[in-house]
């Protein structure tokens, strides 16, 4: 059975769409990994491939949490700035307001 040019183009378009879906699925999975692992994957990904990725929607879906307005913040423990000990978020619950700032000032 011979395919015409239209059939070959349609098959090629289907193959490209399938590969693109697999690529997006892989990156959705990668975005769900811890930041260090995701960073290693991005580091090894060629820039042209990153350019065709719908990064923002995938990131928002992969990193969406299950917290709602009014939920208590998840507890965590971090070293103090001066390295004199640890601080736990739950130690402040009910005693005083806490402001959490995530990011860099540089």
CA nearest to 27, candidates 4, 19, 91 = 19
Q: What pLDDT is recorded for position 63?
A: 84
Q: How far apart are CA 76 and CA 89, in angstroms?
A: 6
Per-residue pLDDT at 84 exceeds 80:
yes
Per-residue pLDDT at 1 exceeds 60:
no
Confidence of residue 27 (pLDDT cuts 50, 70, 90): very high
Rounded (10°) CA dihedral 21, 24, 26, 32: -140
């Amino acid at each position: 059975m011979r395919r015409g040019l239209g059939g070959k183009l349609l098959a090629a378009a289907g193959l490209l769409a399938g590969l693109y879906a697999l690529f997006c699925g892989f990156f959705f999975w990668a975005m769900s990994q811890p930041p260090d692992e995701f960073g290693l994957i991005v580091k090894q990904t060629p820039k042209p491939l990153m350019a065709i990725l719908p990064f923002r929607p995938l990131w928002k879906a992969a990193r969406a949490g299950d917290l709602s307005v009014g939920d208590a913040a998840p507890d965590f423990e971090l070293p103090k700035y001066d390295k004199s000990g640890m601080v736990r978020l739950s130690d402040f619950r009910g005693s005083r307001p806490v402001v959490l700032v995530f990011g860099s000032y540089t």
